[in-house]
A and B are shown apart, each in its own frame.
Chain A
């Protein structure tokens, strides 16, 4: 039978051969593209109106100063250990960052990406007895308690925690280490607002902003959930009434961020001028603008901000505790921390890390962001979202 299969599939085999040929052709084209990548990253940033893009990029990644060290340490490595870092899909570092870690420590880092933060945490809990990785990055304060309750992590207190604001260190037992943070905030498109710029959450329920606000279902969207938490933190038990007023004022609900931002918000050609997004969205609008602009077209309603902190933790069951600890230290180092903002559009946890110019100029974090403890969030998540569904979706 095998024989007959081979013979019949001959024509189809030629399809496959053709595919492979095209594949090779594409891959050659692809590698051509990669070679020029360093040049183009700057060109992506430069039309964005970021002053002195060249210097800011090099400073931020710090690749250049590290370069000589790579060569030296490489020769010194007798053997390398490999450890695995599990992350969500949004985790990206610049080329050369982990290589410099390998060069100084002889530890190679393999990265495995698993969906979004929720998928990452759920899959880590499922695979707890036989973890896929040694270190996990990407659990945030809205999921933290769930990970801690499941005893996913072993404690480690990095010496570099001294550089991290105490407000970000949400686990007193140091089972997780804060790596970055950001604010989920309501954004508005400055020149398309029907009235004055909103300053407090209550402005969203005023008649001026009727039918202007679009936000996300907290059951299906992480920024949507963060905004719900912001209202709960600000209004306490009054949050239900606030949402009722939002509904009466014509709030629109979508399943996910892209759907809201590009589907209903002005940015994507929609009609609504107010949306739930991030504090870093205005700088992103500048950096990735097309055609280039000098000022951010959108701004942030600081009263609405909820602080999200992302952590890394050493997964229980790893055989490479020492290497994992070194990786955590590296992730808190200024080199790694300064690479974070422009790749992931979040802020470095290490207060000594310099921010890229665009973040300094166009991005601002809330002085007094809303927060809730991970315990409160986990304990009430279901009740809150179910109540939210009743009020908003009816």
Chain B
């Protein structure tokens, strides 16, 4: 019971209470607003656009992730671990930087004008969302796939099934729980995306999230913003409920293994592997290459000058970029720690709890990801404002807020794995005299450790790259984070500042890669005992 109580209390205090306070403040003043928003044709258009672009973004990300997901799950190759790591990197980049890289690329390939103009089209939005989110599929689905026993497919093949048939009929159904989980996370991420819509979608497009910002911030019209937030949350809840239903329906017990991947043996297998890896590398690597090139451009040539400059405080920033990196790392460590503990406990409670506990907790953990940063940030400001809970402007509020967004990544990665554990395994352990706690420790947590480590890696990356909520909750000025510093450097003219912003982005990428790499290496081997 404590297992469910702690995460529930955390989300109740730091998410439900602040958001509810804001919604009551907003709608309480003017209940008719909700009706206006729901029935206003302008808002219907916005709601519809938000939904379909998120759906297509998810579809595109999932499709583009297939080659690398397959390769990582099934093939042993040099750099396999590295590929798992590098794919996470786009995740932490500030949108303004990625948008800049995309625009740079489009310029270079002449896609900024003419018939295949990408800029300020919905395609740019979809591509950017896919770019950010491929990692979720590759790491969650790929990690899960690696752990499922390949023998049933081999048996199907032996019985004469083509590789495609064996995949479709045997592998795919077993992957479905993790695909469903990853899909929900990516959908929510795209559903509440803010800067991508504004920067790449062009001035004519608005999503629920950008409208909430416009009303809450530009117009100080909290009642319309709150009404839109409610619409957003209703949409998210219905999605999550449908998704949870799907997830339970498809969740199957299955044999789990430590690692199913085998080396490519024939020349054909090798060629196929190389093609798949190269395709993904091109897709993810090109925008990053533009960024690296820009970070090195300095003084009319190429050098590390932009990097060297980061140790010194540049005017415009309250602290040096290096100090901002220290802040970001400290926040990320704490946010990832919270996500690990709360997300881990919640996952166990969701898998082992009663049906209602499980469903409520599952929803509660996912909801923050689908909630506007404006709603959450302003909610915190007006609710956590008294006594011990007066966290406004405190150090802790930043990692706590970031962890709310990171927890779903842990839960959505771990739950499918735990659900896949053969109950017989737990029964055997219990029969042998293990107490329930020991069963969870020896079976659930050991088998779920890889997924847990993956989730914590995401949590770390999310915290490092988080912008919206961090800027809204208010923080001491010297607690500048890297994304905020990058944004600030890019808000004043001058090539020197832009070069430093690019260098800082590259460092953010490198730090993320190192941390995720170390995290991946440290997760325990998921037992040969299976």
Contacts and interface: CB of A to CB of B under 8 A. Distances in A.
A118 B255 CA distance: 55
Interface stretch (A64-72, A120-128, A201-209, A317-325): A120-128
A23 to B, nearest CB: 5
Nearest to A293: B495
Nearest to B213: A220
Contacts of B210: 220
B299 A41 contact: no
Interface in B140-197: none
Given A33-B322, A255-B199, A122 B378 contact: yes
A256 B437 CA distance: 53
B378 A126 contact: yes
B340 interface: yes
Contacts of A22: 329, 514-515
Contacts of B25: 126
B519 interface: yes
Interface stretch (A8-16, A165-173, A305-313, A367-375): A8-16
Contacts of B204: 393-394
B321 to A, nearest CB: 9
A78 interface: no
A41 B313 contact: yes
B107 A269 contact: yes
A31 B392 CA distance: 27
Given A1-B3, A91-B477, A127-B385, A258 B524 contact: no
Interface in A289-338: 289-291, 298
Contact of B474 (A4, A123, A217): A123
B298 A290 contact: yes
Interface in A220-270: 220, 253-259, 261-263, 267-270
A92 interface: yes
Given A8-B441, A22-B329, A37-B320, A132 B220 contact: no
A342 B314 CA distance: 10
Given A146-B220, A255-B199, A16 B337 contact: yes
A4 B441 contact: yes
A355 interface: no
Given A127-B381, A256-B199, A132 B392 contact: yes
Contacts of A58: none
B385 A288 contact: no
Interface string B113-144: 00000000000000000000000000000000
Interface string A84-105: 1011011111110000000000
A108 to B, nearest CB: 13
A119 B471 contact: yes
Interface stretch (A109-117, A156-164, A192-200): A109-117
B496 A288 contact: yes
Interface string B485-499: 001101111111111
Interface in B198-247: 198-199, 202-204, 210, 214, 216-220, 222
B445 A8 contact: yes
A135 B392 CA distance: 15
Contact of B320 (A19, A30, A118): A30
A4 B333 contact: no
B471 A40 contact: no
A106 interface: no
B365 interface: no
Contact of B378 (A19, A29, A116, A123): A123
A285 interface: yes
B381 A126 contact: yes
B10 to A, nearest CB: 15
A26 B393 contact: no
A8 B96 CA distance: 39
A111 B341 CA distance: 32
A338 B329 CA distance: 34
Interface residues of A, number: 93
A276 interface: no
B385 A41 contact: no
A381 B495 CA distance: 34
A253 B203 contact: yes
Interface residues of B, number: 98
Contacts of A141: none
Contacts of B249: none
A94 B332 CA distance: 28
B67 interface: no
Nearest to A121: B220
B487 to A, nearest CB: 8
Contacts of B345: 5
A34 B518 contact: no
A190 interface: no
Contact of B198 (A87, A256, A262): A256
Contacts of A255: 198-199, 202-203
A385 to B, nearest CB: 8
A44 interface: yes
A20 B329 CA distance: 9
A41 B337 contact: no
A36 B491 CA distance: 25
Contacts of B522: 11-12, 14-15, 18
A75 interface: no
B300 A112 contact: no
A82 interface: no
Contacts of B492: 284, 288, 345
B323 interface: yes
7 contacts: A15-B518, A22-B515, A26-B325, A89-B471, A121-B220, A132-B392, A267-B495
Given A91-B477, A126-B378, A288-B494, 17 more contacts: A4-B437, A11-B449, A11-B522, A20-B333, A22-B329, A26-B325, A27-B326, A30-B320, A30-B326, A33-B322, A40-B312, A92-B477, A115-B472, A119-B471, A253-B203, A288-B495, A298-B493
Interface of B: 2-3, 25, 96, 99-100, 103-104, 107, 198-199, 202-204, 210, 214, 216-220, 222, 298-300, 305, 309-320, 322-323, 325-326, 329-330, 332-333, 336-337, 340-341, 344-345, 378, 381-382, 385-386, 392-393, 437-438, 440-441, 445-446, 449, 452-453, 456, 460, 471-472, 474-478, 480, 484, 487-488, 490-499, 514-515, 518-519, 522-524
